[in-house]
Chain A
Amino acid sequence: MSPTDRPDDGADAPREENASDPLVDAVGGAYADSTEAERDARSAITGHDGTGRRIADGGRTVSEFEQMAEVSMTDAERRRQWFDERLLAPARIVWNDWRARVGLLVVAAYLFMGIVAPYIVTEPRPNQGPLLVGAFRTLTYPLGTTASGTSILSQVVHATPSMLVMITAGAVFTVVLGTAVGTVAGYKGGRTDSVLMTLSDIMLSIPGLPLTIVLATALQIQGNPVVIGVLLTINAWAGLARAIRSQVLTIRDDEYVEASRIMGMGTPTIVTGDIIPNLMPYITMNFVQQARAVIFGSVGLYFLGVLPYNSTNWGVMMNAAVNRAGATSSPTAFHWLLVPMVTVIILALGLTLLAQGADRVFNPRVRARHAKSVAGDGDGDRTETTKTGEI
């Protein structure tokens, strides 16, 4: 089999027993008689020369296949490096980009509003206060009251938890399904690819919101936020799957994927270990974009009054403001409409900024500049992150 050939669908599985594969033997055989510790030591070729522990290989002449790394790391060092690379560096990059920082703060504020604030703010009910108090007039009702005397602040706050659940459900559903379909189609190729892509092309050509409206009406669903979140993104996975597939097509022939294939790794191992990590920037961006789409869609459809609900909701508030108090034509009720609108816009803006920031976290060029500050080599590079301006 030439290395550039696509492996047949069935040909992957038996290759896991690499002992029977002559090509694998050539590489793997050298390891056959080594101990566990030695294997660990040999695999650590990525050493950091400043901090690593030297391994003496006794000066004997070895074949290429037996060549060992000059240095190796202890488990603790490896753990620290992993921590540095995977958590600290991204966190630092995020924090040093104003967009990501603002986005994170906004999202954190909404999480606070959804998780903690409902315990602080009293539940909305009619006749909490005088009717149609304007925003920022009294301290008791900071955002004003509705035509039935309900505090708008408490409505906004108590609408947040179900919105957050809905957003998460929709975004997770899209990203998981889109990534799964896209990677499988791109990696497998052949008939699997054509079937999956025809399917997603069909889904892609169906208008999303009208489909959601029709399904919500026909299926007689209840107001469960998870169900509505999934329903709102019912065909959004298709676009993601297409995009992911084309990314996979460029990755699947890279050397390291080739190497994994030759070493006899199974398809699932290659896809999850080699391919998906490379798609993470794309997946994160899409997660955030889907979250935004769910907010826009749900609030819009709640505003039209075509989705079922069982708790208060920003869109339902807007609907009530327009239909019950005529907020578009009468200035006295306008704040009732404006508050949920601003709530939606700020959350969407926060997510947009976060998506842009996330792009930088995964951008290899930005990461490369941070690589030096990692692993504690202490040459004072930590300060250079301030200059990550425009790329």
Chain B
Amino acid sequence: MSYVLKRIGRSVLTIFVVVSASFGLIRLLPGGPLDYLRAQMIQRGGSDLSSAELNRRIAAQTNIAVDEPLYVQYFDYMAAIFQGDFGQSLWYDQSVASVIGPAIPWTVFLTATALFLAFAVGVSLGAFMAYEEGSRFDVVSTGVGLVLNSTPGYVVALLFVAFLGYRFQLFPTGGRYASELTPGLNVPFFVSVLYHGTLPILSMAIVGFGGWALSMRGNSIRVLGEDYLRVARLRGLPTRRIAMRYVARNAILPMYTGLMIAIGTVFGGAVIIENIFAYPGIGFYLIQAINARDSPLMMGAFILITVAMVIGITIADLTYGWIDPRAKGGASRESY
């Protein structure tokens, strides 16, 4: 239990550090986002704005009241962010939270589905490859896995857009669902969401599964040499049972750590994929914000991506003990 508390405490600390760092980036960098914002405002509102009026507007956009002493600015900024107030977007002319908030579930939908698909397919294929080690199937799959593992997701995405999107017109090349549909709990809407999500999800999943298959294959081959497998065979257990219960289970454990790291990388990947498919998730708005020089929106998107990732990693970390009984929380980690 103390481990759970400790682990959650560390996640809170991480979020705290990231938000503080974002304050530092906006406020303290000479020539950084704050100076840029000020220049932008002078340009837009004409130069006749009084400096007090300018500061008031900056405070509304970024939650940073430039007149106040630094520690007050910091406190106000942190308080606002932790209440969900990320300031005003310049480009969309509404609050950052109302721009990005609705985008979060879509990004999580993409990344979580892609990660699950890649993991499930990769692990089962890898186990099978290990069992058939040396066969033609194994050799071919290993080769395919190596190539896929060396391909960035955005390359697959671009090929999908070019061929399945434009050349053969099989899939849509943008959007989250068909624009004429009303979002709600109805079948056409869900079908449209899946239809629009297919290519982005597949382009993330395809490049991921090669790596999973290869490491699962390696782990399984190591497990296949263990004594308890010989015992299981001597007992005459069916092959399927040995493969699933004995080999897969023991080979999957080391990959769970990899899963945690993967949660981190998919959010980065999603930024590029979402932009290729014009899929309005958090990553899409992050790039929009950068192109429009909209620093409040940019920082808001970055903080939310980080929070989503911290939550993902924390869940993965806390469930580790549940999947691997030997781990029993993190207590064993400090056992040295």
Interface with B: A70-78, A120-128, A196-204, A256-264, which one?
Answer: A196-204
Is B32 in contact with A213, judged by CB distance below 8 angstroms?
A: no
Confirm or deny: B135 has a beta carbon within 8 angstroms of a beta carbon on chain A. no
Q: How far is the CA of A390 from the CA of B133 in the complex (A)?
A: 10
Is B13 in contact with A329, judged by CB distance below 8 angstroms?
A: no
Is B287 in contact with A304, judged by CB distance below 8 angstroms?
A: yes
Is B162 in contact with A205, judged by CB distance below 8 angstroms?
A: no
Mask, A286-308, CB within 8 Å of B = 1, is 00000010001101110111100
Q: How far is the CA of A292 from the CA of B11 in the complex (A)?
A: 29
Is A349 in contact with B146, judged by CB distance below 8 angstroms?
A: yes
Beyond A207-B264, A211-B302, A334-B162: 20 further Cβ-contacts under 8 Å? A202-B13, A204-B313, A205-B11, A206-B309, A207-B268, A208-B264, A213-B271, A217-B290, A217-B298, A292-B150, A296-B152, A304-B275, A328-B161, A328-B165, A328-B173, A329-B162, A341-B158, A348-B150, A348-B151, A348-B152
Mask, B265-297, CB within 8 Å of A = 1, is 101110110010000000100110011000100
CB distance from B189 to the nearest CB of A (A): 27
Query: Contacting A303 at CB < 8 Å: which of B26, B134, B272?
Result: B272
Q: How far is the CA of A215 from the CA of B146 in the complex (A)?
A: 32
Residues of A within 8 A of B161 (CB): 328
Confirm or deny: A337 has a beta carbon within 8 angstroms of a beta carbon on chain B. yes
CB distance from B177 to the nearest CB of A (A): 21
Is B162 in contact with A328, judged by CB distance below 8 angstroms?
A: yes
Confirm or deny: A249 has a beta carbon within 8 angstroms of a beta carbon on chain B. yes
Q: How far is the CA of A345 from the CA of B154 in the complex (A)?
A: 11
Confirm or deny: A29 has a beta carbon within 8 angstroms of a beta carbon on chain B. no
**Nearest-CB residue, chain B, relative to A329:** B166
Residues of B within 8 A of A213 (CB): 271, 286-287, 290, 302
**Nearest-CB residue, chain A, relative to B134:** A390
Q: Is the interface of B mostly helix, strand, loop or mixed?
A: helix
Q: How far is the CA of A206 from the CA of B11 in the complex (A)?
A: 11
Mask, A194-232, CB within 8 Å of B = 1, is 000010011011111111011101111000000000000
Q: How far is the CA of A58 from the CA of B268 in the complex (A)?
A: 71
Query: Contacting B264 at CB < 8 Å: which of A204, A220, A300?
Result: A204
Is A353 in contact with B146, judged by CB distance below 8 angstroms?
A: yes
Q: How far is the CA of A198 from the CA of B158 in the complex (A)?
A: 39
CB distance from A161 to the nearest CB of B (A): 21
- In the complex, which residues 166-204 of chain A have their Cβ closer than 8 Å to any Cβ of chain B? 189, 198, 201-202, 204
Q: List 15 A-B contacts (CB under 8 A).
A: A207-B264, A207-B306, A208-B265, A208-B268, A209-B268, A210-B268, A218-B26, A218-B295, A299-B152, A303-B154, A306-B287, A344-B155, A345-B152, A352-B150, A353-B146
Interface residues of chain B, those whose CB is within 8 Å of chain A, are 10-11, 13-14, 17-18, 22, 25-26, 29, 31-33, 133-134, 146-147, 149-152, 154-155, 158-159, 161-162, 165-167, 173, 261, 264-265, 267-269, 271-272, 275, 283, 286-287, 290-291, 295, 298-299, 301-302, 305-306, 309-310, 313, 336
Is B29 in contact with A218, judged by CB distance below 8 angstroms?
A: yes
Q: How far is the CA of A207 from the CA of B291 in the complex (A)?
A: 20
Is A249 in contact with B336, judged by CB distance below 8 angstroms?
A: yes
CB distance from B113 to the nearest CB of A (A): 18
CB distance from B62 to the nearest CB of A (A): 13
Confirm or deny: A327 has a beta carbon within 8 angstroms of a beta carbon on chain B. yes
Is A349 in contact with B150, judged by CB distance below 8 angstroms?
A: yes
Is A210 in contact with B302, judged by CB distance below 8 angstroms?
A: yes
CB distance from A211 to the nearest CB of B (A): 7
Residues of A within 8 A of B310 (CB): 205
Q: How far is the CA of A390 from the CA of B159 in the complex (A)?
A: 35
Query: Contacting B25 at CB < 8 Å: which of A218, A249, A345, A353?
Result: A218
Mask, A317-334, CB within 8 Å of B = 1, is 010001000011101001
Residues of A within 8 A of B271 (CB): 209-210, 213, 304
Q: How far is the CA of A207 from the CA of B264 in the complex (A)?
A: 6
Residues of A within 8 A of B306 (CB): 205-207, 210
Is A210 in contact with B166, judged by CB distance below 8 angstroms?
A: no
Residues of B within 8 A of A292 (CB): 150
Residues of A within 8 A of B150 (CB): 292, 345, 348-349, 351-352
Confirm or deny: A281 has a beta carbon within 8 angstroms of a beta carbon on chain B. no
